[in-house]
Structure 1
Amino acid sequence: MAEQQTWPHHELGRKLNNWGRWGDDDQIGTLNFVTPATRVEAAGLVRTGKSFDLGMPFDKDGPFKAGGFRTNPQHIMTLLPSDTAHTKDGLISADDMIITGLQAATQWDGLAHAGYGGRFYNNVPAAAVNNFLGATRNSFHHAVERLISRGVLLDIARLKGVDRLEDSYEITEADLLAAEERQGVRVRSGDIVLLRTGSYQWFLEGDREHFLGNAPGPCLDTCEWLYEREVAALAIDNHSGEVWPSPIEGVTIPFHQVVIRDMGLTLGEMFNLEELAADCEADGVWEFLFCAPGLKVTGSAGSPITPIALK
């Protein structure tokens, strides 16, 4: 019998495993770090009333090409003013619908999104996700009310003195610590960390191919920092949620495997952090009230969002 290969990310995942930490029935993982006290403190960070929309437009001009497993949203009108013009009192009305993947724009990866070894977070078997009921365990909808907390932006591009990081740059724990030091902020238990690489600028410039290509992002070296700081969720401005392609030969999304499957951390992708980062750089305030609940879709593996930062 051939010897089974030992993968470095699976070894790391065993070390950082949170299965059973909040009970065998837990379905929200590190979002347990978001408490009522955390939210009360976060609400106190709103001092100027400035708000920042961190979401990608939800429309047919999104980042994805036709033919892939993710497609851009299709918006369809199901009722037009002309359809109601016959009403006696002159009422007109409109109604609409969307056809879309739940991860087709700025989005959260839920705990039923990625796993390995036939298991998802908290020892949930792969069969718990099926065509009939969707994610019967670890559905994203359980996470909705916890995704309001203190947000902290760590701007790695500005740390390095560049407009955007080089393609496939591996963000390390040292980078995260250096960004905290430069910005005069410290990530605490229950925080939602927003990580800026500058990659979203490719999308803003209309270069979808580059935006979906090789991307800078966190590597496995950051996982212990996320674990030790008790980060509730992580949101990134690239398409892949981690450095792309994987630096481990023959492996796809090893960072996802560790943080989602083993740690139970909700992971966000394709956040527009440009305006918020510029404002934080200008006023020196890198913490804010962060609100990004997502859609309460039963049995879902993720959700589109329009995240808002309030300062």
Structure 2
Amino acid sequence: MAEPRWKKRPEGSNWGDFGPDDQKGRLNLLTPQKVLQGIAEVREGLAFCLSLPLDYPGGNAMNVNRLPPILRPLLRKGGVNMNYQYQWIQEGRPDVLSDDLAILHLQYSTQWDALSHVGALFDANDDGVPEPLYYNGFSAGGDVEGPSELEDCGIAGPIKPHSTSCAHALGIERMAETCVQGRGVMIDLHHHYGLGRTHVGYDQLMRVLEADRVEVEAGDIVCLHTGYAEALLGMNRNPDPAELERLAAVLDGNDSRLLNWITDSNLVAIAADNYSVEIFPAGHAGDCCSVMPLHHHCLFKLGVHLGELWHLTPLAQWLRANDRNRFLLTAPPLRLPGAVGAPLNPIATV
């Protein structure tokens, strides 16, 4: 067995519990038995698409660093490869072909965060000097690296062969390899708290679970319905930044009891239909603590993947109308080696 890359692990973390080189985190609990539990929830054969169109939210009002996807046709023999007719070069051919490419900001719309998305400074070597690390002690700059030159970032210019960002460990492909299929559990925050901005801590969450008789068990994938993505659809790719700040429930990552519940529940992932799952920025006094404490707790400490901007409203409404909160969830991200996040088209089957 390989030696761990650390002498001490963060307090409250599970580093090493699934092995010193583990890159799946809590997805290790997504066992064949959990898949069978998810399949057992399929009674009607109805499927729900849980992805927004990937050109939503529109613009960059939500995040100035992330831009909508760009679709372009490929080139073919010096021409535009859209509605390309073979008869242009050889008479009598009936074929018409189109082929295109996409430039994607991978966390622009419906997405999963890889475990390489958020790390932290931590003194894992116990030498008094904190190092930038990710889940299970994988290192920034070694296990997760990228180009150092500004011109090698974004889409401003040509990409040089050496400029590729790459998570050699904890890339999103590790999540995709598990297939991410199992039992989903809906927590309908929108039904109880409406569409206004509400900070949901442990007490507020427990009231919802009790009122709706929701039980979250080890290996479940939790989905949080807030109504945020449904509201985005109504903005028609032109979201109002001020309106976004007033929208929907968000988890309070500063609530230690809420974080402890995530630990103790042994859930394997959390997907929300809002922008960041949690309050962002977290609003700590001073600069001692993470600006995203729930991301820090889930991605860095526990290996719990986070999903954002899922479209959950039609599913949540159907489940409530049928007095249910569980379903089969199939939600693998794009199997893009080295990426720190990826879009997906999750499917719920009831």
TM-score (norm 2): 0.79
| 1:180 positional shift | 2.1
The match for 2:208 is 179
The match for 1:310 is 349
Post-superposition CA distance 1:29-51 (Å, at most 9, x none): 11111001110221121110111
The structure that has the greater radius of gyration is 2
| 1:94 positional shift | 1.2
Post-superposition CA distance 1:121-179 (Å, at most 9, x none): 0011111221245001111101112411100110112123x2x1x32x22112233222
Structure 2 counterpart of 1:39, one-letter code = V
Residue 159 (1) aligns with residue 178 (2)? no
Query: Do the aligned partners of residues 25 and 279 (structure 1) sit closer, same or farther apart at CA in structure 2, a change above 3 Å counting?
Result: same
The match for 1:139 is 171
Structure 2 counterpart of 1:225, one-letter code = W
Distance 2:244 2:347 in 1: 24
| Runs of 4+ more than 4 Å apart | none
| 1:63 positional shift | 5.2
Query: Is the CA contact 2:56–2:232 (under 8 Å) kept in the aligned structure 1?
Result: no
Structure 1 counterpart of 2:21, one-letter code = D
The match for 1:100 is 104
* 57-66 or 266-275, which deviates more: 57-66
Query: Is the CA contact 1:64–1:208 (under 8 Å) kept in the aligned structure 2?
Result: no
The match for 2:124 is none
RMSD: 2.1
The match for 1:275 is 314
| 1:211 positional shift | 6.3
Post-superposition CA distance 1:181-214 (Å, at most 9, x none): 2222311111110011222233122135246535
Distance 1:66 1:45 in 2: 35
Taking only the aligned residue pairs, the percentage that are identical comes to 29
Query: Is the CA contact 2:179–2:331 (under 8 Å) kept in the aligned structure 1?
Result: no
| 1:308 positional shift | 1.0
| 1:68 positional shift | 2.8
- Mind listing any 5+ residue stretches in structure 1 that lack a counterpart? 1-12
Query: Is the CA contact 1:199–1:211 (under 8 Å) kept in the aligned structure 2?
Result: no
The match for 1:38 is 34
Query: Do the aligned partners of residues 85 and 176 (structure 1) sit closer, same or farther apart at CA in structure 2, a change above 3 Å counting?
Result: farther
- Mind listing any 5+ residue stretches in structure 2 that lack a counterpart? 1-8, 75-80, 122-131, 147-163
Distance 2:106 2:35 in 1: 26
Out of 333, 336, 342, the position equivalent to 1:297 is 336
Distance 2:21 2:179 in 1: 17
| Superposed counterparts of 1:7-26, under 5 Å | 14-26=10-22
Query: Is the CA contact 2:87–2:93 (under 8 Å) kept in the aligned structure 1?
Result: no
Query: Do the aligned partners of residues 24 and 81 (structure 1) sit closer, same or farther apart at CA in structure 2, a change above 3 Å counting?
Result: same
Distance 1:268 1:43 in 2: 22
* 20-29 or 213-222, which deviates more: 213-222
| 1:300 positional shift | 1.0
Q: Secondary structure at the match of 1:201?
A: helix
Distance 1:67 1:39 in 2: 35
| 1:306 positional shift | 1.0
Residue 190 (1) aligns with residue 226 (2)? no
Query: Is the CA contact 2:120–2:300 (under 8 Å) kept in the aligned structure 1?
Result: yes
Query: Do the aligned partners of residues 66 and 310 (structure 1) sit closer, same or farther apart at CA in structure 2, a change above 3 Å counting?
Result: closer
Residue 237 (1) aligns with residue 280 (2)? no
Aligned length: 295
